[in-house]
Each structure stands twice: as structure tokens, then as C-alpha cells.
């Protein structure tokens, strides 16, 4: 019984998919299908076997199942479950174990018999792993096979923990986790060094034997892998692509995760837009022209009728009459993103003939100077991601506030704290009692390379980052009184994993918004942040704005999202491009250098060995080159932003 209706398949897609406006709606729909199956089997007095996944993706799905149990009497008495995987080695009581996850999100809240839930055991002795895995497969077979398998997709394209290279005939076994997977999990384990290297996982064959498979994916950071799995050929490098061979598989996506699919990204390749219920609006026109310019490796104003025709853009040509007219439309749209006055101009100092501060649109566009609030999830994101723009806003005379949302203490090494302690010891600044403790800590570090556990250290590590942020903000000219260290509590929660936003976090953010009443808000819209903190911080803003909905300042406010160190906006998404001079690039570099504990440190290095200042410079230079290649202007570097009216942001919520 398939309740979820797939979209009509297009020629690029090799597996059916259903796309929802939000992950919440999608999760509810999947839960409805599972509930219908459970009830149908209850009527014929038969059990149902569910294959379950963990991770951030299925949390809302489990919440809906729990709700159905509590409010709509959905019983799990006839349900048998097999989870995909478990970290190895890891005891079931560990807060990060998948057994613990399942208890927290489902098992403890429904009437599922404990003997009916199965997970691979993270505690099995090494010598018994093979036998344990064979027995797991046998248990699945004995239960009648999996009726309904839930999957997420990792950023390596994995299903279960079938990392790149896993063959299609693989069965339940011990695997080594990919470095990217470990990096994604490292936030929950408190650093990569504490993250397991191995896992026990069902194999690709085990998963493909399920009678129905539903893969869920939410968020932009999944979009590239979703596209690879859905549109490209089947490969062991993206094990989710094996679902193309399954007769009853469905990808359930939100808009962001579906965003890289041809039907959304370049729909003109599928035929006239009208036939797809789409139109050549401003955004689509810009996207097609920029796409064409890159395809043809030509500046926008040099594209010819032939270029449009040969690339399948006859339809766009028809709308504009000629390549010349179409080119001008695309060119001006891009040109209008550029401004050196991100906060607008001082009306008293504007000369006739000065370039307009174009992209500002909000009711406060004419206000000068403006109150500006820059939200920096970690203490260095402000200067890494928008340091040049920050300096400009200050220089232009705006009242610039920077709020650091989390303490960032997890990314401070013991060595960095030891250096601060050694200073205190050697400078003789502490009284006798404190000096004795400091000396003992220092000696322990010097002997072992790690500090002994002490309750104070987490807070002190936070201070180190605070001082670095203050020094960096000084380079940018921001007064200390305008720096706000929020230390949102979700970041330091040890008992709630994966970390989740709480009321207190939202209260703190809401209070800050009320205090500053900003005309301009800059926030990290960086959903590729590997350890999830940026996503939660954006969520915190979202909830705080929701609470501010009736406050008059919000009607005048504009919200701009920047990307963090890990990615850049697509060209056609950019609404504001702030060019930087070579001097400004150097000043930004000086500010980033103030974050000494983050320099060439290896807490979250992943596969990119460049330091943050290098990433920032490479990224903003590459963006400037793209503008140049489009034929716009030649700048040293550009920082880019995407506009969100707070009202839209509240409406759509998820990016
Ligand atoms: C979890 C599992 C993994 C996850 C995938 C996505 O049991 O097997 O394949 O589904 O890593 O994880 P999230 O949902 O956290 O992005």
C-alpha cells in the first residue's frame, strides 16, 4: 500500500520522488504510510517488519509515529524493527549509540515489545563480529524480510553506513567510516578524536531486499548527493544510487534537498517552462542566462542567438525577442547586485552621479545611519564570512552590533588553554591556592599532552574564543560595547544529543533582537556547516523572529544571509555583492588571524587542509573572477549575500 504519490518522472530521473514544501510535512506523510501499513497488517493479524534509520533526518518522522500512538491509538504490538546500523565499538548506554537514539525518539514512547527491536551490537567481541552479522541477517530472514525500510542519505551518498566503494552484493558487516561521515558526526561526539572509526551496518543487498524503501533527505547540504543518486548512473561511489535498481523505492525530499535536480535547477532542459507550470520570471531568467554564459564560456553581453538556440533556450529567446535584449536583462540583474554601500548611503553626503546603493529594499532603506546586527554562530564566522562588509558598515558610520551565538569552546584545544595557564603560573598573578592548582594542571599537561578534567575548563576555553573575537572586532573597528556573547546553551548540552534548540536559546535571541531593533540583520545561511551548529543558530533566529512578529521594528528590517567557510551561494542566488579592495582583503586577513586557536588546528579539518583565511580569500576571489567572467567588472574580491524578507523567512522557515 503506497500512499505517498510520486511526481511524474522526468527523463533525467532514474528513481521516483516526492517533494514537499517542508521536511515536517514530508515526515508526516511518510509516517502516515507506515501507520497505514501497520494497521492493515493488524487487521489480518500479521506482523510488520520495519527497517529503521537514525540521524537527524528521521527525527520528525519518529515524533509523528509517537504522536499517532498517543493521540490516534496506533499500536506497535505487531511491529518488529531492525535498525540499519550501530557505531563500533560503542556500548548501548552511550548517549551517541543508535540504541540510545532509538529509545529516545521511538522505543520508549510506544508499545513496541523490547524483544521485537533489533540493532547490531556495538559491543560484540571482535572475533565474533562475522558470526554476529550473519545472525542479524538470519533474524531478518526469519522475521519474513523487511516490509518497509526507512533511509537517510549521508554526504558521501551512503545508505546505512555503506560508504563509497560498498559493492551491491554487500551484507551486514563491519565497515570503516568515511572521513566526511566522521566529521559530520564529530559535533555530537565532542570532536573527531572521540568519534568512532567503525560501524556495523546492513549491506546494500540487505537494504535492496526490503519490499518498500523510502529515502528521506532534507536541506541544501544533501542536494548534490540526491542529484547524484537520482540522476547519475549507478555507482559504488554513491551507494544510494543502487536504489535505482529497486522496484518500489521512493525519495522523499524537501525543496532544498531537491534543489539540484534538473527539474528544479535547469528546468528548461526538460521542455518549455509553461508546460511545467513555470514561467520566465526574473529569477529563472537570470539563472538560465548565467548558466548559458558558463556553458559557452562567454560574457553575458556576448551571447548570441545561436548560443541560446543551441543550448535549448529558444523559449527564452522568444520571450525577449533577441539575444541582445535577453542579455541586457541578465546583465542588469547581476549588475544591480553590486554595491559598495551595503547599508545604504548617507543622504547628506551623496553627490549627484554617485552610484545608488541598489539592493536595499526594506522600509528602512532610506534610514541613515542604520542599526546593524551581525549574527556570528561561532566566534570567528563574522570575520571569516563577511569581514570586509563588516569593516565597510562600520566605516560608513552605521551602529554595528555583532552577536556571537555559541561559545565555540569545543574547538579550543587543551594546548591553547595550557598556554594561558602557563602564563598565569609564570607571571605569578594567582594567589597561593590558585597557583598550586594551576601548577598541577600545567604539570599534568606537560607530562601527558592533555589537561586533567576540571569543571572550569569549558568556560575558560569559551573565554579564550571571546578574547579572540574581541581582538578581531577591534581590527574591524567595532566597539567592545557592541559585542554580544550569547553563549546559547544548546551548544554545551551534553545530555541532549543530537543537540537541539531549547526555549532558553530562543529567549536569549529574542531579547537581543528587542534590544538592538536592527534595520539590517546578517546571519549565517550556511547549511553545509558540518557540525550542525550553524543550522541550529539559524533556527534560533527563525524562532526569535517569530516571537518578534508584532514588534514594529521588524516591519522595517531586512535580513541578509551569508555563507560560512564551507560554501558560496550559487551566482543566481546572490542579491547583494560587496566588492573589496586589496587593502580590505588584507584587513580582513588580519582580523581572521586574531583567532589564533583556530589557526592550523586540526579539530575539524575534514578533507580541506586550507586554513580559514585561505578559504575566505580563495572563495571571495573566485567569486570576483566569476563576476569578471560574466563581463561585469573586475574586483579583487567579493562577499555575497542572499536577501530574505523576514516575513518570507517566517513563512518558509527552512532554507
Ligand atoms: C543512520 C544511517 C545513515 C544516515 C545518514 C544521514 O542510521 O544509517 O545512513 O541516515 O548518515 O544522516 P543525517 O540524517 O544525520 O543527515
Q: Which three cell numbers stand for residue 122?
A: 556495538
Is-contact 132 203, C-beta < 8 A? no
Distance CA 509, CA 519 (A): 16
Which DSSP state fits 291? H
In which element (H, E) is residue 638 found? Answer: strand 637-644
Distance CA 91, CA 178 (A): 21
Is 152's C-beta closer than 6 angstroms to any atom of ligand 1?
yes
CA neighbor of 88 nearest in space, from 127, 58, 53, 129: 129
Distance CA 446, CA 459 (A): 21
Query: Catalytic: 163?
Result: yes
Mutate to test the pocket of ligand 1, among 30, 57, 160, 175 (most ligand atoms within 8 A of CB): 57
Is 364's C-beta closer than 6 angstroms to any atom of ligand 1?
no
Residues 6+ apart with CB under 8 A from 583: none
Spacing, Cα 298 to ligand 1 middle (Å):
41
Residues 6+ apart with CB under 8 A from 99: 86, 92, 119, 122
Residues 6+ apart with CB under 8 A from 413: 597, 601, 603
pLDDT category of residue 357 using cuts at 50, 70 and 90 = low
So what's the pLDDT on residue 180?
85
Spacing, Cα 153 to ligand 1 middle (Å):
6
pLDDT of residue 23 exceeding 70:
yes
Read out DSSP for 366-423? T-SSPEEEEEESSTTHHHHHHHHHHHHHHHTT-EEEEEE-S--GGG--HHHHHHHHHH
Is 53's C-beta closer than 6 angstroms to any atom of ligand 1?
yes
| 373-386 per-position pLDDT tens digit | 999 999 999 999 99
Spacing, Cα 157 to ligand 1 middle (Å):
10
In which element (H, E) is residue 511 found? Answer: helix 503-516
Across the chain, mean pLDDT equals 92
Burial class (CB in 10 A: 0-12, 13-18, 19+), 502: middle
Mutate to test the pocket of ligand 1, among 53, 181, 198, 215 (most ligand atoms within 8 A of CB): 53
Distances (CA, A) of 96 to 91, 119, 185: 9, 14, 10
The size of the chain, in residues, is 655
Q: Which three cell numbers stand for residue 492?
A: 554545551
Mutate to test the pocket of ligand 1, among 30, 51, 55 (most ligand atoms within 8 A of CB): 55
Which DSSP state fits 217? E
Percent of the chain predicted with pLDDT > 70? 94
pLDDT of residue 426 exceeding 50:
yes
Distance CA 515, CA 521 (A): 13
Average pLDDT of span 606-610: 64
CA neighbor of 407 nearest in space, from 473, 491, 514, 342: 491
Distance CA 10, CA 258 (A): 14
Is 51's C-beta closer than 6 angstroms to any atom of ligand 1?
no
| 544-591 per-position pLDDT tens digit | 999 998 999 998 899 999 987 767 888 999 999 999 999 999 999 999
Spacing, Cα 291 to ligand 1 middle (Å):
32
In which element (H, E) is residue 641 found? Answer: strand 637-644
Is 158's C-beta closer than 6 angstroms to any atom of ligand 1?
yes
Q: In the β-sheet with 371-376, what is the strand arrangement from edge to edge?
A: 483-485, 399-404, 371-376, 520-524, 558-562, 637-644, 576-580
Average pLDDT of span 632-638: 96
So what's the pLDDT on residue 35?
98
| 76-134 per-position pLDDT tens digit | 999 999 999 999 999 999 999 999 999 999 999 999 999 999 999 999 999 999 999 99
Spacing, Cα 160 to ligand 1 middle (Å):
7
Handedness of CA 350, 352, 357, 359 (dihedral sign): positive
Mutate to test the pocket of ligand 1, among 104, 152, 252 (most ligand atoms within 8 A of CB): 152
| 165-216 per-position pLDDT tens digit | 999 999 999 999 998 889 888 777 877 778 899 999 999 999 999 999 999 9
- The H-assigned helical ranges of 209-275 are 223-231, 255-258, 262-265
Distance CA 269, CA 271 (A): 6
Spacing, Cα 82 to ligand 1 middle (Å):
15
Is-contact 331 301, C-beta < 8 A? yes
Residue 98 alpha carbon, nearest atom of ligand 1: 7
Q: Out of 61-70, 161-170, 272-281, 339-348, which region has the weakest mean confidence (pLDDT)?
A: 339-348
Q: Which three cell numbers stand for residue 554?
A: 521588524
So what's the pLDDT on residue 193?
77
Residue 498 alpha carbon, nearest atom of ligand 1: 15
Distance CA 223, CA 570 (A): 13
Distance CA 562, CA 568 (A): 8
Read out DSSP for 5-51? PPPPPPTT-SS-EEEESSHHHHHHHHHHHHHHHHHHHHHTT--EEEE
pLDDT of residue 648 exceeding 70:
no
Predicted structure pTM score: 0.83
Is 55's C-beta closer than 6 angstroms to any atom of ligand 1?
yes
Q: Out of 53-67, 335-349, 635-649, which region has the weakest mean confidence (pLDDT)?
A: 635-649
Q: At 345, is the secondary structure helix, strand, or coil?
A: coil
Which DSSP state fits 574? -
Is-contact 278 269, C-beta < 8 A? no
CA neighbor of 17 nearest in space, from 27, 25, 7: 7
Spacing, Cα 514 to ligand 1 middle (Å):
38
Set 137, 163, 568, 617: catalytic member: 163
Angle ∠(100,105,107) on CA atoms, nearest 5: 75
pLDDT of residue 603 exceeding 50:
no
Query: 10 Å Cβ neighbour count for 534?
Result: 25
Distance CA 374, CA 305 (A): 44
Amino acid at each position: 500500500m503506497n500512499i505517498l504519490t510520486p511526481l511524474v518522472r522526468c527523463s533525467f530521473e532514474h528513481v521516483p520522488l516526492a517533494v514537499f514544501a517542508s521536511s515536517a510535512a514530508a515526515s508526516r506523510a511518510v509516517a502516515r504510510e507506515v501507520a497505514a501499513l501497520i494497521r492493515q497488517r493488524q487487521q489480518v493479524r500479521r506482523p510488520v517488519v520495519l527497517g529503521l534509520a537514525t540521524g537527524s533526518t528521521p527525527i520528525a518522522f519518529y515524533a509523528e509515529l509517537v504522536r499517532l500512538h498517543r493521540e490516534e491509538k496506533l499500536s506497535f504490538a505487531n511491529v518488529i524493527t531492525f535498525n540499519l546500523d550501530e557505531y563500533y565499538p560503542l556500548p548501548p548506554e552511550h548517549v551517541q549509540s543508535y540504541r540510545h537514539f532509538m529509545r529516545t525518539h521511538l522505543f520508549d514512547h510506544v508499545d513496541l515489545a523490547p524483544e521485537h527491536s533489533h540493532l547490531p551490537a556495538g559491543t560484540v567481541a571482535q572475533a565474533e563480529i562475522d558470526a554476529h552479522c550473519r545472525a542479524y541477517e538470519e533474524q531478518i530472514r526469519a522475521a519474513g524480510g523487511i516490509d518497509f525500510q526507512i533511509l537517510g542519505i549521508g554526504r558521501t551518498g551512503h545508505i546505512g553506513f555503506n560508504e563509497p566503494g560498498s559493492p551491491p552484493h554487500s551484507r551486514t558487516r563491519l565497515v570503516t567510516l568515511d572521513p566526511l561521515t566522521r566529521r559530520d558526526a564529530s559535533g555530537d561526539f565532542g570532536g573527531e578524536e572521540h568519534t568512532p572509526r567503525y560501524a556495523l551496518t546492513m549491506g546494500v543487498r540487505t537494504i535492496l531486499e526490503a519490499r518498500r524503501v523510502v529515502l528521506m533527505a532534507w536541506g541544501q547540504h544533501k542536494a548534490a548527493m540526491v542529484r547524484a543518486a537520482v540522476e547519475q548512473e549507478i555507482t559504488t561511489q554513491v551507494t544510494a544510487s543502487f536504489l535505482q535498481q529497486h522496484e518500489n523505492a521512493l525519495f522523499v525530499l524537501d525543496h532544498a534537498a531537491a534543489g539540484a535536480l534538473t527539474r528544479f535547477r535547469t528546468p528548461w532542459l526538460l521542455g518549455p517552462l509553461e508546460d511545467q507550470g513555470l514561467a520566465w520570471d526574473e529569477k529563472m531568467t537570470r539563472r538560465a542566462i548565467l548558466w548559458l554564459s558558463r556553458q559557452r564560456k562567454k560574457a553575458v553581453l556576448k551571447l548570441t542567438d545561436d548560443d541560446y538556440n543551441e543550448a535549448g533556450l529558444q523559449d527564452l529567446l522568444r520571450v525577449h525577442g533577441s539575444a541582445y535584449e535577453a542579455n541586457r536583462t541578465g546583465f542588469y540583474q547581476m549588475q544591480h547586485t553590486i554595491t559598495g554601500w551595503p547599508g545604504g548611503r548617507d543622504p547628506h553626503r551623496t553627490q549627484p552621479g554617485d552610484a545608488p546603493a541598489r539592493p536595499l529594499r526594506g522600509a528602512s532603506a532610506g534610514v541613515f545611519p542604520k542599526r546593524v546586527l551581525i549574527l556570528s554562530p561561532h566566534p570567528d564566522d563574522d570575520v571569516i564570512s563577511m569581514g570586509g562588509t563588516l569593516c565597510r558598515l562600520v566605516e560608513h558610520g552605521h551602529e554595528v552590533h555583532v552577536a556571537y551565538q555559541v561559545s565555540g569552546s569545543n574547538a579550543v584545544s587543551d594546548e591553547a588553554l595550557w598556554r594561558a595557564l602557563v602564563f598565569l603560573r609564570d607571571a605569578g598573578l594567582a594567589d597561593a591556592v590558585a597557583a598550586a592548582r594551576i601548577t598541577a594542571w600545567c604539570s599534568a599537561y606537560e607530562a601527558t599532552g592533555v589537561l586533567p578534567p576540571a569543571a572550569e575548563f569549558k568556560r575558560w576555553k569559551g573565554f579564550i574564543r571571546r578574547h579572540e573575537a574581541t581582538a578581531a572586532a577591534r581590527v574591524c573597528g567595532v566597539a567592545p560595547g557592541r559585542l554580544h556573547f550569547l553563549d546559547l546553551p544548546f551548544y554545551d548540552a551534553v545530555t541532549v544529543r543530537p543537540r537541539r534548540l531549547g526555549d532558553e536559546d530562543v529567549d536569549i535571541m529574542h531579547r537581543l533582537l528587542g534590544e538592538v531593533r536592527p534595520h539590517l540583520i546578517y546571519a549565517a545561511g550556511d547549511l553545509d556547516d558540518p557540525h550542525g551548529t550553524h543550522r541550529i543558530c539559524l533556527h534560533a533566529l527563525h524562532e526569535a523572529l517569530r516571537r518578534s512578529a508584532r514588534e514594529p521594528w521588524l516591519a522595517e528590517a531586512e535580513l541578509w544571509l551569508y555563507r560560512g567557510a564551507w560554501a558560496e551561494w550559487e551566482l543566481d542566488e546572490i542579491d547583494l555583492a560587496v566588492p573589496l579592495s586589496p587593502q580590505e582583503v588584507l584587513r580582513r586577513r588580519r582580523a581572521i588571524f586574531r583567532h589564533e586557536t583556530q589557526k592550523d588546528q586540526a579539530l575539524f579539518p575534514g578533507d580541506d587542509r586550507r586554513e580559514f583565511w585561505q578559504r575566505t580569500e580563495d572563495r571571495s576571489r573566485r567569486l570576483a573572477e566569476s563576476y569578471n567572467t560574466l563581463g561585469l567588472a573586475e574586483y579583487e574580491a567579493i562577499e555575497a549575500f542572499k536577501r530574505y524578507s523576514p516575513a518570507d523567512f517566517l513563512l518558509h522557515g527552512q532554507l
